Amino acid sequence: MVAPGLATAASLAAARAAAVAGATTLDLDAAAEAAIIALGGKPNFKLEEGYHHTVCASVNDEVVHGIPTTRVLLPGDIVSIDSGAIIEGWNGDAAFTIVIPDPSRPDVVSERQTLSDVTEQSLWHGIARLATGRHLNEVGEAIEDYVESQGTYGILTDYVGHGIGRSMHEAPPVFNYRVRGKGPEIKPGLVVAIEPMVVLGSIATDVRPDDWTVATSDGLAAAHWEHSIAVHKDGIWVLTAEDGGAAGLAQFGIVPVPVA
């Protein structure tokens, strides 16, 4: 799963570079697809029935599953890009959030950037717990603890992470919050996509008329970060990070180990 993970990372890097004011979400989609194809992969999102794009592009109050369109990105927009690649039948899945600079609205940009930063850091707290914990539901505890320590944010409960392998979405579910029960044991062979979705206001959401886009009911901003991570006999490796997660995990004293 290393190859599709790296192709997914490359697609997100390409989308990030294209995410500037004046670009459309279709521009980001095209950049991501080109990066995946260049590495010998195919976009696995296109294998989802009824979906025809490489990425999901969710803007402002849209949380996940936004469909790329001719919508133009504006200064101050907060944009979440989710992408995935498939190579030789194996899948990768990851997401990031970016805020388009807007010098005329520093307060809005700051609030949204902080939301994104909190969400990203909650992801790394979850990954760190995957490296040190015994049962999978400890990941959600770590994510919730961190988010709650940062302020009055909401963690979506209707959408969670998942196992990943031959299919993009597999068991087990990976919760971003506390649940009853320990969940499956964390042991070699487990590969999961951890993906906290955090909002500024209520966790209530609605699905837009396109039957895909999930948006906050109160219209407040959302952020989404995700990585696919492998647990193996020597440790963990973040498959969708070029450095295997070394930079993100350094703060926890955890050194990821490449998959042999």
| Domain CATH for 245 | 3.90.230.10
Grouping H, G, I as helix, E, B as strand and the rest as coil, residue 88 is: coil
**Can you give the residue range of the structural domain that contains 210?**
2-252
Question: Does residue 126 sit within a domain?
Answer: yes
Does any domain span residue 259? no
Residue 129 in domain: yes
20/99 Cα distance (integer angstroms): 9
Q: Which residue is associated with the tokens 């952020």?
A: 223
SS (H, E, C) 89-157: CEEEEEEEEEECCCCCCHHHHHHHHHHHHHHHHHHHHHHHHHHHCCECCHHHHHHHHHHHHCCCCEECC
Given a contact cutoff of 8 angstroms between Cβ atoms, the answer to whether 32 and 98 are in contact is no
Q: What is the pLDDT of residues 224-238, one digit of tens each?
A: 999 999 999 999 999
User: Given this model, what pLDDT does residue 260 score?
Assistant: 80
* 85-141 per-position pLDDT tens digit: 999 999 999 999 999 999 999 999 999 999 999 999 999 999 999 999 999 999 999
- pLDDT value, residue 33: 98
Question: Residue 51's pLDDT is what?
Answer: 96
Would you give the DSSP letter of residue 47? G
Question: Per the domain annotation, does 28 fall within a domain?
Answer: yes
Q: Provide the whole-model pTM.
A: 0.97
- pLDDT computed for residue 54 by the predictor: 98
CA dihedral 33, 42, 90, 14 (to 10 degrees): -20
Residue ranges of the chain whose pLDDT lies below 70: none
Within a domain: 258: no
Task: Choose among 140, 145, 212: nearest CA to 182.
Answer: 140
pLDDT at 238: 98
In the chain, the number of structural domains is 1
Neighbouring C-beta atoms of residue 253, cutoff 10 Å: 8
